[in-house]
Structure 1
Amino acid sequence: MPIHSLSGKVAVIIGGTGGIGLATGHALAEIGASVVLTGRDADRTASAVATLPAGNHLAAHAEVGDSATLRLLADDVQHHYGRVDILVNTSGFTRAIPHADLDALDDALIDEMFAVNWRGQFAAIRAFAPLLRANGDGLVVNVGSIAGRTGQGSNVAYCAVKAGLDVMAMSLGRALAPAIRVLNVSPGVVDTGFVPGRDSSFNERAAKTTPLRRIGQAQDVADAIVACATSLRFATGTTIVVDGGRQLG
């Protein structure tokens, strides 16, 4: 099989209706993978799957903050395909809060940030680990952020959970080897609607302060995830930074 072919492989993308998730679904499907896109809204998820290149793809319900739905998802995928080779965690949310405004980052928001942006990723890995391990060549890719390294991001809790994903890759890269590789792909500013309130003027300012003079596109992140599955096969427990050099500034 050519090194860049994923023919016969099954990839599950948690949060597959978002910008990065859907771009990743297209990229993996284009090189032969059967793709499962998950989302909270059945109609939106089905519509997203309908845009994928022809193949044996599946729309499925899952809420990353609800571990029970992730366990049910793993059971459904096993029943449908009998295997899982790649798990991609792209789900998450954030809210822009100035770092100095300590009162605005209340306990409820902090708890939700960790539940959706860290615990959910771990819970998805936990649910799919038996299937990923069964083939002896499983892969997990979590989408992090350079905020976890720079401490600059939409809010303090967001920076913390993304740093937690970097550590998770190291811990699980060690614990799940050699049957499962665990990697992070860490973008900078990406042109999606992920952060509410960020508009074209923000993107223009960010581009000017990024060494490669543009912000990222969802496809840039998807390409890095494809590389994790195809070219970077001797890598685990580490973070691949895809930020146009933004963290250098």
Structure 2
Amino acid sequence: MPLSTADEKLLDSHHRGEWKTKDAWRALRILSEFVEGFDTLADLPPAVSVFGSARSKPESAECELAARLGAALAEAGYAVITGGGPGVMAAANRGATEAGGMSVGLGIELPFEQGLNDWVDIGIDFRYFFVRKTMFVKYAQAFVVLPGGYGTLDELFEAITLVQTHKVTRFPVILMGADYWSGLLDWIKQRMLDDGKISAADLELIQVTDDVAEAVQIIVDAGAALADPQASS
């Protein structure tokens, strides 16, 4: 694993001399990653992207929750998409695989936390974060976000922003691990909402539950409403 990543080289503003000599070739590499992702994932069944920390221990509460979630999603007919790493991601993939479902891992080139976990049925390793993020959104009917760090927060807020700005068809964004997220949610309500930075309707873009069955039902209901808008009205 190199000390620098493809993303870092592409976005490095200190090596302007490379912009004319290398960036055009990098664009072809980026295109090839999009093609590989689209080709590999085009035949997926309905799927749900599950996010959470790579650093969570297998015996942690969030990993146990992720495994039960993965199994429940598989039993409901959904493929489970994760970042393909260890921790919460591996737990969700394991739950899906052991329940007989399809388990997908979308890995990323990093100088740490590398390699796809052993529970992935379909795996792709990406060099570029923005290509990988497109795949998480394009092939998912919902995002479920368990306790995690900066990367998890990045995926959470990008999903909310895409839904809020109507860049994607609205889909559920579900937080699991209510105690972990409570401080963030309080800040959003007491600071962002009270300061007028978001509207009350924006709070409805996030749903919180620690009940696996409830989370799956939210996703099922959202899919049914999208398939038949008149039935949900």
Structure of higher CA gyration radius: 2
For Structure 1 versus Structure 2, the TM-score category normalised by the shorter chain is 0.3 to 0.5
Instruction: Answer 1 or 2: which has greater helix percent.
Output: 2
Per the normalisation by structure 2, the TM-score is 0.45
Per the normalisation by structure 1, the TM-score is 0.43
